[in-house]
Amino acid sequence: MTQQNHRIVILGGGFGGLYTALRLSQLPWESTQKPEIVLVDQSDRFLFSPLLYELLTGELQTWEIAPPFAEILQGTGVRFYQAVIAGIDIDQQRVQLQNGPEIPYDRLVLALGGETPLDLVAGATSYAYPFRTISDAYRLEERLRVLEESDADKIRVAIVGAGYSGVELACKLADRLGERGRFRLIEITDQILRTSPEFNREAAKKALETRGVFIDLETNIDSIGKDTISLEYKNQVDTIPVDLAIWTVGTRVSPVVKALSLKHNQRGQITTTETLQVLEHTEIFALGDLADCVDAQGQQVPATAQAAFQQADYTAWNIWASLTNRPLLPFQYQKLGEMLSLGVDNATLTGLGIKLDGPLAYVARRLAYLYRLPTLDHQMRVGFNWLVRPIIETLSR
């Protein structure tokens, strides 16, 4: 292949994949070296996942947190395919799309994220609602509307998992359902938000308590039925009625990634070097949820949006460096802190020497995420809407 024909194929359009593509398009390629950049995702929209909860409370709209790839990539030169990946041939360096072409590559970026494992407990696949994608949010919204329009006096909701997703969902839905909501947050360990800073955990406990959310700690899920959930606590199983069960636990690597003959850890993640390259296949880079990465300082990199966002910069730079004969940079993860939404107009924030909770933290979180939105054009449109919307709503009352 001649230099002009280098092709970089990026699989997955989440934080890792999309931001790698955008960064690659901005790097100073010589005109004779500019590669073809291809981004593949099964959805037609990017999802800014930390703001997904705000869809359920009507605080944000779909276009704000899930802009179409066609809109984001306009003018970047990145080619987008909406497709499901059927397979990857790492020896022949080709990606096969379902009902689509076979795409050869010189550099491959694996950024397919994770999937929610619903088959861990009997009945979960049939009756539990996951909350990871825009489709999950739409399905949950549909179910909530049915429950809200019913004659039921109380709406009983069980949320499995008291990590970030479970806690944020519990607070948002409690604010949405108000007096009608009856919530149980079920956690297998002995505390909520196990990996969070103490300040955030305490703020979350207070927010949950204020909203009357009942917390079951050290509790297993035995099974989930159409309108029941069976909980196991101290070897005793108790079956309780529920109208809605939401599953927020676990991440599983996609079968396409698991099938690759690369070094995986026990969770199925692909082991990478500190330059984010796959062992024995330096033309392949892996980042985000599916990567098992230890950075240059020996830190295990967490599977978070914040980490994927940082890895994207290094991945783009290192691909550029590998194609232009420059030294690659070892990844250095910066812990920038943690932000949690704890209901409408309420959040908590710890990081960079700052500790905030309440409405001020809510505004700070919004502004931090506004800055992280994928393009300046989208940031400006969303920011303008955030300024103008309250004024319009006030005037229309």
- What is the second-level CATH architecture of the domain 3-42+83-115+252-323? 3-Layer(bba) Sandwich (3.50)
Identify the pLDDT of residue 3. Answer: 43
Interatomic CA distance for residues 58 and 38, integer angstroms: 34
Contacts of 304 (CB under 8 A, 6+ apart): none
Identify the pLDDT of residue 394. Answer: 77
CATH 3.50.50.60 range(s) for the chain read 3-42+83-115+252-323, 124-247
- Comparing CA positions, the residue from 57, 157, 133, 41 lying closest to residue 95 is 41
Contacts of 286 (CB under 8 A, 6+ apart): 109, 110, 111, 270, 272, 276, 278, 293
Identify the pLDDT of residue 2. Answer: 41
- Comparing CA positions, the residue from 307, 352, 370 lying closest to residue 197 is 352
CA–CA distances in Å: residue 357 to residues 15, 85, 176, 362: 26, 42, 20, 7
Identify the pLDDT of residue 346. Answer: 95
Interatomic CA distance for residues 250 and 152, integer angstroms: 32
Half-sphere exposure of 268 (CA within 13 A, CB side): 18
pLDDT tens for the chain, 397 residues long, are 444 569 999 999 999 999 999 999 999 988 777 899 999 999 999 999 999 999 999 999 999 999 999 999 999 999 999 999 999 999 999 999 998 889 999 999 999 988 888 998 999 999 999 999 999 999 999 999 999 999 999 999 999 999 999 999 999 999 999 999 999 999 999 999 998 999 999 999 999 999 999 999 999 999 999 999 999 999 999 999 999 999 999 888 888 988 888 888 888 889 999 999 999 899 999 999 999 999 999 999 988 889 999 999 999 999 999 999 999 999 999 988 899 999 999 999 998 889 999 999 999 999 999 999 999 999 999 999 998 887 877 777 6
H or E stretch covering 140: helix 134-149
Q: Residue 13, SS3?
A: coil
Interatomic CA distance for residues 21 and 309, integer angstroms: 12
Identify the pLDDT of residue 251. Answer: 86
Q: Which residues of 88-116 are buried (b: 16+ CB within 10 A; e: fewer)?
A: bebeebbbebeeeeebebbbbbbbbbbbb
Identify the pLDDT of residue 397. Answer: 67
- Comparing CA positions, the residue from 10, 138, 24, 54 lying closest to residue 345 is 54
326 secondary structure, DSSP code: -
* One-letter amino acid of 129: Y
Identify the pLDDT of residue 225. Answer: 96
Q: How many CB atoms lie within 10 A of CB 349?
A: 24
Q: How many CB atoms lie within 10 A of CB 87?
A: 13
User: Is this prediction's pTM over 0.75?
Assistant: yes
CA–CA distances in Å: residue 241 to residues 74, 160, 183, 226: 49, 15, 12, 9
Provide the CATH number for the domain formed by 124-247 in this structure.
3.50.50.60
